[in-house]
Structure 1
């Protein structure tokens, strides 16, 4: 047979790959001639997408390792799979619905997930075909999908991956590695769900910083003194307020305290006193304490920061340390809350808490809606405009002198205007929705990552000790990080790891095996098992 004049790579590579696959060369155990095993679980790409250069790079590295071990006679498995990609897949289907003026909420959850399954079956093979085109030597007979075997899965989507996920959830809960709690999470107002840190992208935007006065309670005054680096007094005046700067004035409504650094002498006379939040109906104006904490930077701004524990991660940490209540201001769409008692009643409750006359449980704090009646239901940015306008109208904005020149006469005029700094700042956005993320205090399920990482820390610590002693042995379970200087980064990351939020408020994805029953007075054990995994589980929020 004569040789073709030009090499047709597409034909040749496809033919060769099919021959390899049909011969069983990629299956687990192929060419095994020793007891040693080697396995790589492919980082599963999203089922809705196409591969990108990052996939091509890391899959090539995996393929090199897998083929090398296979050639050496290892019992080798490269396990392929695809991720159901909850947010990404749901977004694709919702966009298709929008083309015909339909929304997810126009139908039942089962009807919507049926549409998602259709989308999966349309696009699911795209990435498999791309991996094959790259020459990836995965064992395709074991290909897995993270929603296989889920309730209402269509024909062809059988499997036990869903069962495995539920079983692992239950097992980890029983081992104390999973718990339910109220913590601050990244909240995506578009999808109305919690998302992980990895699903948040920081985008530089043009921001503004407003400076406001928080009047001291009862008209109290103090001598405010500023000094330069040499200790010389540069400003001395009597003040009846403490000033703060904020990029998010709408969250002032939920302030629980104003914090200053313990070493900041300027505010020492008023630590422990109360100050007034300068917004809301005057007759119900709230008072909050002035506290000390290591978090405020005395050299930045006024050195005083407002603490809004339910809407800022740094503030949340301060609130937890200082036992400051965290008042949630927004709903799942990032609109100002419109539920609960009237503002007058809510403000009176918060005032009693600030004065130490009343204590509230975490659930009772969450029920307090401190959004004034005229701002309830507004989008967060519309509420921001109104809050700023109300503070300015009352004369409680910090002001600066501005010089202007009359165009007709050339005369100079000085006027006081509110101090608003223009500054570039990094703002968190949902990597899928592209909307600004709102830190939100909600009930979610978390993995206790501090417990999870302890064996990983021990393996490296023991490995370093063995290396120094000259007794390092990989088979002993030791781990060695190269270059060794990077061990510092490894330890810093794992020793400061935060609990991992694993719950999502999505219609597409694994449902946490929990339901809530009326009249339940305690956390109950699993009611029964079906197909090897938990299906009914009863909890009672009031009696954890």
Structure 2
């Protein structure tokens, strides 16, 4: 043994030192030339602007748990860390800094602005990676990656050219999601839909019999209408299809068309077709050759309508347009407020504007099919399987992906335009012809992070890392990012890696909510800061709490009290190990032969073997919550509350070597089992107990079937029942726990051999007595001499009073339940409450009667 343990557990005293020890020793550094089987995970790259939040803490705890377990099982483990350059978010941060000095990025110019962002990244970015160390994440820091690194940029450009050459990337004018605040296109996954309060206005187009009423939530866009559409089978409008109608405000004649996309039950059954400002209208316009009329600029300001509304913000114009239409008598109906789903920019919460724009797109159909097939044919497994339909629902219905962004921070699109309209995609090591100009846009952040599973290993080069660690073993991430990142990784990896998906398993966990099941948010004031709670309770307590609540695919609640409870569990482990060492527990030498052990030692070894088997199986199936629950109860109940208690007599005696060796073995194995979830405290306890180098490189426990002993388990269960009942008897009689009372056991068989051990725990003084009270537990009888231990007269009076009250309560409940009139009128909740009271009073009467019977005569 290497030393003594401090008298109390203080996480702050050990965590930083232990983590530095692990990193310095190179325990987390993977070897691509190793002959060991590979186990690899890539960390979902957090934004360079981010800080560790509770979702990160859960995600990384589960990844670390798997990585540490597999390392102990003899795998060559690579858990690769890194960050995403987070195009929009990072550019926003730096632009805000410039704004404090009264400047914009345009004052600096593109080159200087990008340089400024790199400076910010070096000084302030990536704080989350340092915070990961606080959590104990066993990532390979030597392989840390950043999506804007030179090697990663090489991968991005290579894949862009490869996909373009394969006809999977194209440029076209399409309706895209546009953020008037960030001034860039957004993909579908960067748009968050939320219910907004608006208005639903019905407007009359045309005059007299040649009029038609359309319903819209966006009247300000009507000046860009190119047609009115109705359903071809709608009898109300069949006679009008093919005719034209006057568009108010701009006095332009527009056609009335028929299209099946129109829902005849929505509004008036007639809709305006604003092809340049609505994705559904765009599709109809293409089919019917409707003109595209742009009436709004990139800032969301009305422009080019030739009306009084030009120069107005879109929302200002909405009010003004309705007022004008009302004054013209063209408002047929208004519904206000009208609650409907509206897209918002996920970065700045600005209302997204559908906008016709020439952008670069990925043709997703063949890529999405390959991604779906990989799951359907079993190449990739989704855990839990119940979430497969969500995956297919997304991947089977994807729209082409807009990948160009009107930003300066990011991977510049490797496309160059010639003076005669020529277009050249320039790959790594290539140059554009003289006189060509590069596309000003950058690629969507997800285009680079979608390559994370192979670009981080050195692709397109055929590296040793790629050969050893691709495909990765498992992707651990929240189900909420299934559509954002997982599907894109599946598409891009399967294409780049010749049909080989990026991971073998997708393990999806839920969200962390507050103790009432509500989503955490700053506005609600219910956010749990993992750094704050690691400072207060230690990393192990936070990790254990998160893992203990992590059932696959389902959300978990979290409260500070529960983290405090896990801290108490850590303290329990510390005190138990300290007690064991002070009482001579040892890991030296072979375990004694099973036949030479007493039933108590056999029992704890049997329970240990079963625990090892169950925990190992559950962790391999990603059942973290159930595994932690089993570990908790084995450590707290079986080991601390029972084994240490009933073994105290043995420790106090001379013949204790076997028990000391068994206790040392049990602690050794338990700490190994707990290490993946609680790495810091287990490392400190285990190295102190064993004197060995580190749990990180120790072997994972293996269940020993030879130790499973059902007879000993049955015997100790009987002992537990006896001890529990005698403790209850002592408590019921008001006997102090410190007071020794004369007693004797009347028992036969194996249980009789453990009378002394039980008496030691129960503070009974065994010997010949004149019994005045007894407790019977099955075939075992424990008799007591309570003379001088209690005031029999006072105790009898107290019990008789309690018994009389219980009998009265029972009679009252029975009268109500037998009263048909009362039962017919009483609410169900009241009836349930009375029945529960009847059951409780019946139990109380039985207990009090037994206690009175056990009292000695006065």
User: Is 2:316 the partner of 1:378?
Assistant: no
Quote the Cα distance in structure 2 between the aligned partners of 1:431 and 1:525: 31
- Name the counterpart of 2:449: none
Distance 1:172 1:398 in 2: 51
Q: Is 2:227–2:254's contact at 8 Å kept on the other side of the alignment?
A: yes
2: CA distance, partners of 1:49 / 1:106: 27
Tell me: CA distance 1:375–1:517, structure 2 relative to 1, closer, same or farther (3 Å): farther
- Provide the C-alpha distance between the structure 2 equivalents of 1:11 and 1:273, rounded to a whole number of angstroms: 83
Q: Deviations over 1:270-307 (max 9, x none)?
A: 12211111112xxxx21222122223222222111111
Partners of 1:188 and 1:435 within 8 A in 2: yes
Conserved? CA contact 2:117–2:409, under 8 Å: yes
C-alpha separation in 1, matches of 2:198 and 2:102: 35
Larger radius of gyration: 2
CA distance in 2 between partners of 1:264 and 1:516 (Å): 48
Task: Tell me: CA distance 1:540–1:90, structure 2 relative to 1, closer, same or farther (3 Å).
Answer: closer
**Structure 2 residue 161 is the aligned partner of structure 1 residue 261:** no
Q: CA deviation at 1:33?
A: 4.8
1:195 is the counterpart of 2:220:
no
**In the alignment, structure 1 residue 446 sits paired with structure 2 residue 446:** no
- Structure 1: how far apart are the matches of 2:140 and 2:432? 32
Instruction: Work out whether residues 161 and 425 of structure 2, in 8 Å CA contact, stay in contact via their aligned partners in 1.
Output: no
Output the CA distance in 2 between the equivalents of 1:535 and 1:8: 62
How far apart are residue 424 of structure 1 and its match? 1.6
Say if 2:343 is the partner of 1:428.
yes
Deviation at 1:130, TM superposition (A): 0.9
Structure 2 residue 12 is matched with structure 1 residue 6: no
Judged with a 3 Å threshold, the aligned counterparts in structure 2 of structure 1 residues 85 and 315 are, in CA distance, closer, same or farther, namely same
Partner-residue secondary structure (3-state), 2:331: coil
Q: Where does residue 18 of structure 1 map in the other structure?
A: 20
Give the 3 Å change call, closer, same or farther, for CA 88–482 of structure 1 in structure 2: closer
1:534 Cα deviation from its structure 2 partner:
6.0
SS in 2 for 1:59: helix
Question: Which residue of structure 1 lines up, in the alignment, with residue 267 of structure 2?
Answer: 301
Closer, same or farther: CA 522–390 of 1 in aligned 2, 3 Å: same
Which digits, 9 at most, give the CA deviation of each residue in 1:50-83, with x for residues without a partner?
0111111112222222223322333321111111
Contact 2:224 2:295 in 1 (8 A): yes
- Per-residue deviation at 1:533? 5.7
- How many angstroms apart in 1 are the aligned matches of 2:268 and 2:292? 23
Contact 2:178-2:355 within 8 A present in 1 as well = yes
Shift of 1:208: 0.9
Instruction: Provide the aligned length of Structure 1 versus Structure 2.
Output: 436
Show the counterpart of 1:402: none
- C-alpha distance in structure 2 between counterparts of 1:534 and 1:540, whole Å: 11
Residue 497 (structure 1) shift? 0.6
Q: 2:199 aligns with which of 193, 208, 213?
A: 208
**1:180 to partner: Cα distance:** 1.2
Note the 1:123-134 alignment, pairs <5 A.
123-134=124-135
User: 2:352: which partner in 1?
Assistant: 437
Aligned residues of 1:84 and 1:145 also touching (Cα < 8 A): yes
Closer/same/farther in 2, CA of residues 525 and 79 from structure 1, 3 Å limit: closer
Change (3 A) 1:142 1:86: same
Distance (whole Å) between structure 2 residues aligned to residue 8 and residue 484 of structure 1 = 41
Give the equivalent residue in structure 2 for 1:512: 413
Higher relative contact order (CA 8 A, sep 6+): 1
User: RMSD value over aligned CA atoms?
Assistant: 2.5
Deviation at 1:314, TM superposition (A): 2.3
Structure 1 match to 2:649: none
**Higher-helix-fraction structure:** 2
Q: 1:176, 1:517 → 2: CA distance?
A: 20
Q: What is the CA distance between 1:386 and its match in structure 2?
A: 3.2
Unpaired runs of 5+ in structure 1?
150-159, 222-239, 339-370, 400-418, 464-477
- Aligned match of 1:397: 331
Which residue of structure 2 aligns with residue 344 of structure 1? none
Q: Is the 8 A contact 2:170 2:362 kept in 1?
A: yes
1:146-195 deviation line (CA, Å, top 9, x unaligned): 1123xxxxxxxxxx222222222112211222111111111010111011
Summarize deviations over 1:480-535 as a string: whole Å, max 9, x none. Answer: 556656544433322211111111111111111123332x2543464xx66x3666
What residue in structure 2 maps to residue 242 of structure 1? Answer: 212
Q: Matched residues in 2 for 1:310 and 1:391: separation?
A: 22
Alpha-carbon distance in structure 2 between the residues aligned to 1:480 and 1:380:
47
Q: Distance in 1 between matches of 2:219 and 2:350?
A: 19
- Tell me the alpha carbon deviations over residues 438-494 of structure 1, each in whole angstroms, 9 at most, x when there is no partner: 01111111111112122222233434xxxxxxxxxxxxxx34556656544433322
Higher strand share: 1
For the pair 1:272 / 2:187, whether they are aligned, the reply is no
Match of 1:314 in 2: 280
Q: Distance in 2 between the 1:318 and 1:433 partners?
A: 31
Say yes or no: does 1:103 pair with 2:104.
Answer: yes
* SS of 1:375 mapped into structure 2: coil
Cα 1:84–1:484 shift into 2, 3 Å: closer
Residue 267 of structure 1: CA displacement? 1.2
Is the counterpart of residue 171 in structure 1 residue 72 in structure 2?
A: no
- The answer to whether the aligner puts 1:81 opposite 2:82 as a matched pair is yes
Q: Is the 1:253–1:279 contact (alpha carbons within 8 Å) kept by the matching residues of 2?
A: yes
Bigger shift: 139-148 or 257-266? 257-266
Structure 1 contact 524–539 (Cα < 8 Å) conserved: no
Return the alpha-carbon distance in structure 2 between the equivalents of residues 190 and 536 of structure 1: 35
Number of the residue aligned with 1:523: 423
User: In the superposition, relative to structure 1, how do residues 42 and 525 fare at CA in structure 2: closer, same or farther (>3 Å)?
Assistant: closer
Deviations 1:116-146 (Å, cap 9, x if unpaired)?
Answer: 1221112234111111111111110011111
Deviation at 1:214, TM superposition (A): 0.8
Contact 2:416 2:438 in 1 (8 A): no
The separation in 2 between residues aligned to 1:432 and 1:503, in whole angstroms, is 17
TM-score in terms of structure 1 length: 0.75
Output the TM-score relative to the length of structure 2.
0.48
Which whole-Å CA distance do the structure 1 matches of 2:131 and 2:425 have between them? Answer: 45
* Distance verdict in 2 for CA 1:177–1:67, change over 3 Å: farther
Q: Is the 8 A contact 2:169 2:360 kept in 1?
A: yes
Counterpart CA distance in 2 for 1:167 and 1:533 is 11
Q: Distance in 2 between matches of 1:306 and 1:299?
A: 15
Q: Is this contact kept in 2: 1:167–1:534, CA < 8 A?
A: no
